Amino acid sequence: MKEYNPENIRNFALIGHGGSGKTMISENLLFAAGEINRIGKIEEGNTTSDYNQNEIERQISISATPLHLEWNNVKFNVLDTPGFPDFIGQVISCLHVSDLAVAVVKSAEGIEVGTELTWDYVRKYNLPAAVIINKVDNEHSSFFKTFDSIRERLSSDATILSFPSKEGINFNSVIDIVKMKLVTYGESGSKKITEAEIPSELREQSQKLREELIEKIAESDEELMNKFFEEGTLTEEQILTGLKSAIVNGSLVPVFAFSASKSVGVNTFMDFASKYFPAPNERKPVEAKLKDSDQKVEVKCDPNAEASLLIFKSLSEQHVGELSIFKVYSGEVKPGDDLINTHRNKVERMGQLFILNGKNRKEVSKLAAGDIGAVVKLKDSHTGDTLSSKNFTIILPEIEFPEPIIRSAIKPKSKGDEDKISSGLHTVHEEDPTLDVKYDPELRQTIISGQGELQLSLATKLLKDRYNVEVELVEPRIPYRETIKGVCNDAEYKHKKQSGGRGQYGHVHLKLEPLPRGAGFEFVDAIVGGVVPGRFIPAVEKGLREVLEKGVLTGSKVVDIRVTLFDGTYHAVDSDEVSFKIAASQAFKKGFLEAKPVILEPIYDVTVKVPEEFMGDVMGDISSRRGKIIGMDSEGPFQVIKAKIPLAELYKYSTHLRSLTSGRGMHTRQFSHYEEVSKDVEAKIIEEYNKSKEEEE
């Protein structure tokens, strides 16, 4: 197997809205390079990167797929990412290890919400980028209009590198602005291309775009700018070297015309990528930190340095086990190497190494800095972990996944499946860390949370397919809180039991008063003269704490309350700790109901991003959810609404928002505070609680 140094590697992720053609573009790249001998079709379920059953059935990408090929003696590591927002975590982990992002945009529809969502991460990571305008063979194709919206909404540095000589159903050739040639493509699958002079009717437009390109290159470098002003243009050599450095430093975003269904534009794009896309060693060194301190250390993409790698994706396959997909940041990695997992302080021995094209694997003897590969059956290493040599124990920058925006409770259909469910969901979390699973002891439910309804339902489908366990997703209980607004000066309870032999006796007087929000619980021992002996005081506090956990009105925790034990009596023989515990809890319940009890509900800060035309509908919907709009802002063509909404009103909100905005609305949420509910809502909560208690009994 051929070995590649960093300068001969190109790592890029294909990103963009679902249905923009990323998977078919990757098929074209693999076919042109001879990695596959025919171009698969999504509707036939035989593409290289959409190979798992769910992807084939739904005809969408669900998981990011690493692919590789060679073009002009350069190795491309292509990461084909899903476009559906539920799987944004897959996109983020791929962008984390890419040296460039290629956004795929449809020529007729232009910029869609998935493109903007993923482009936000390109900006966040400060990644070099390119754009493919795909589906130029669509009869409604509008290449230059789409290009204008790319400049306006994605990057003002977007610059045309190839454009269609004619678009629509007859699209079969592009003008290559670098070579200044007309490149005509044969039938899809023929690999036939011819280069010719630019037709006279397109020469002026081509020349204008070439001048724009030269100007853009000159702008990216002071020295070139001076030369450009002096001579009015740049030499061929200055154009070519300037073009690469402008892309590497992000001051030029090349745009290409493409049709994945007709295989037009493929070679033009690949020739360009092999020459001008950044190699891993042309990017800035990565800033890591030493394992046992926060001391920063630069990691250069150097094959001769000590080894370090980051696992950015895990795949669990039946009969094989877990496959860890990683990028080598420095040094070289070989089977048999012992590396330290610096997150978990465990030594891992590297097994067989592979490079992947979907489910097809090719074994390799080593992988050098800058390359991407996979290893089978690491014992203790998972997505996001750094493995490094013993002489260079570092932690590489971690992948930052978004907070969940949807949550459901898991209800097993039959008892005794808890262990299988737990291990199955652990596997699902390893494959997609944006999917979180936790048992909530307060709610007594297993809560699964993530980025969308489809993501959660696929997780439960995996439990059935792989572990033969059936579960349903139900609305999770809400972690309400109970507190008081008034004061009860004397809550008294006497616990007295006599049934032959030794009896039980405990008698307390309590004072209950509210505390400021967030103060928690305070117990005050104000007993004077030993009317309640000191040895029973801890039992009183214990009884109170137990009832605080269980609540009085709805089985929810009681918060922000001060309880003072100020009087009581005892019996020399019959009093014991249990009696005082019972007396305290009963006195508390009695006093609680007299002290103007209220229910508090969790309120979330919700930020909704929608196109302007949906503003009215979304704001109306927020109000109908008892939400309060706090502020509004604009972000390009989008409006950003900030609101505070009760958690009880947010179940499946992401799905509802998508249907309200034709799939173009997005939201994030974060816990804000607890707030008192109105009396009508309170009555409903208590009624539902009593009903569920009866059902459980």
* pLDDT per position as a tens digit, 613-660: 999 999 999 999 999 999 999 887 789 999 999 999 999 998 899 899
Render 107-126 in DSSP notation, one character per residue.
Answer: TTTBS-HHHHHHHHHHHHTT
C-alpha distances in Å from residue 495, one per residue of 169, 584, 586:
88, 9, 9
* pLDDT per position as a tens digit, 334-389: 999 999 999 999 999 999 999 999 888 999 999 999 999 999 988 889 899 999 99
* Max CA separation in the chain (angstroms): 114
Q: What are phi and psi of 171, to 5 degrees?
A: -65, 115
Q: Tell me the average pLDDT across 529-556.
A: 94
8 A C-beta contact, residue 638 and residue 609: yes
Q: What are phi and psi of 690, to 5 degrees?
A: -65, -35
pLDDT at 319 over 80: no
DSSP letter, residue 111: S
Cα(550)–Cα(562) distance, integer angstroms: 17
- Strands 367-368 and 557-558 come out as unpaired
Lowest-confidence segment of 231-245, 305-319, 513-527, 612-626 by average pLDDT? 231-245
Tell the residue number behind the tokens 């459980």, with chain if given.
696
Lowest-confidence segment of 199-203, 206-210, 236-240, 472-476 by average pLDDT? 236-240
Helix (H, G, I), strand (E, B) or coil at 594: helix
Cα(610)–Cα(117) distance, integer angstroms: 11
Residue type, 62: I
Structure tokens at 400: 């930052």
pLDDT at 225 over 90: no
Q: Tell me the average pLDDT across 138-158.
A: 94
Helices (runs of H) and strands (runs of E) counted in the chain: 16, 38
Cα(314)–Cα(292) distance, integer angstroms: 26
Q: What are phi and psi of 306, to 5 degrees?
A: -65, 150
What does the mean pLDDT of the chain come to?
92
* Complete domains list, the chain, with CATH: 6-282 (3.40.50.300), 286-395 (2.40.30.10), 406-474 (3.30.70.870), 482-595 (3.30.230.10), 600-681 (3.30.70.240)
Cα(516)–Cα(226) distance, integer angstroms: 66
Q: Note the pLDDT of residue 235.
A: 78
* pLDDT per position as a tens digit, 186-208: 988 788 999 999 999 999 999 99
**pLDDT classification of 20: cutoffs 50, 70, 90:** very high
Residues facing 332 on adjacent strands: 368
**pLDDT classification of 696: cutoffs 50, 70, 90:** low
8 A C-beta contact, residue 526 and residue 565: yes
C-alpha distances in Å from residue 595, one per residue of 250, 481, 482, 484, 581:
64, 15, 12, 6, 21
pLDDT at 167 over 70: yes
Render 242-290 in DSSP notation, one character per residue.
Answer: HHHHHHHTTS-EEEEE-BTTTTBSHHHHHHHHHHHSPPGGGSPPEEEEE
Q: Tell me the average pLDDT across 27-31.
A: 95
Cα(646)–Cα(478) distance, integer angstroms: 10
Cα(650)–Cα(633) distance, integer angstroms: 22
Q: Note the pLDDT of residue 49.
A: 87
8 A C-beta contact, residue 361 and residue 374: yes
- Strands 253-257 and 286-290 come out as unpaired
Cα(139)–Cα(170) distance, integer angstroms: 9
Give the neighbor-by-neighbor strand order of the sheet with 158-160: 65-71, 74-80, 9-15, 100-106, 129-134, 253-257, 158-160
Lowest-confidence segment of 180-184, 340-344, 398-402, 410-414 by average pLDDT? 410-414
Q: Note the pLDDT of residue 322.
A: 80
Instruction: Provide the whole-model pTM.
Output: 0.88
End-to-end CA distance of the chain: 66
C-alpha distances in Å from residue 36, one per residue of 26, 28, 59, 126, 259:
11, 9, 20, 33, 19
Cα(386)–Cα(388) distance, integer angstroms: 6
Q: What are phi and psi of 257, to 5 degrees?
A: -90, 140
Q: Note the pLDDT of residue 648.
A: 94
Q: Note the pLDDT of residue 475.
A: 92
Residues in the chain: 697
Cα(26)–Cα(528) distance, integer angstroms: 81
Lowest-confidence segment of 12-21, 455-464, 493-502 by average pLDDT? 493-502
pLDDT at 494 over 70: yes
Cα(81)–Cα(92) distance, integer angstroms: 9
* pLDDT per position as a tens digit, 407-437: 999 988 877 777 788 888 888 888 889 999 9
Assign 3-class secondary structure to 343-377. Answer: CCCEEEECCCEEEEECCEEEEECCEECCCEEEEEC
Q: Tell me the average pLDDT across 531-541.
A: 95
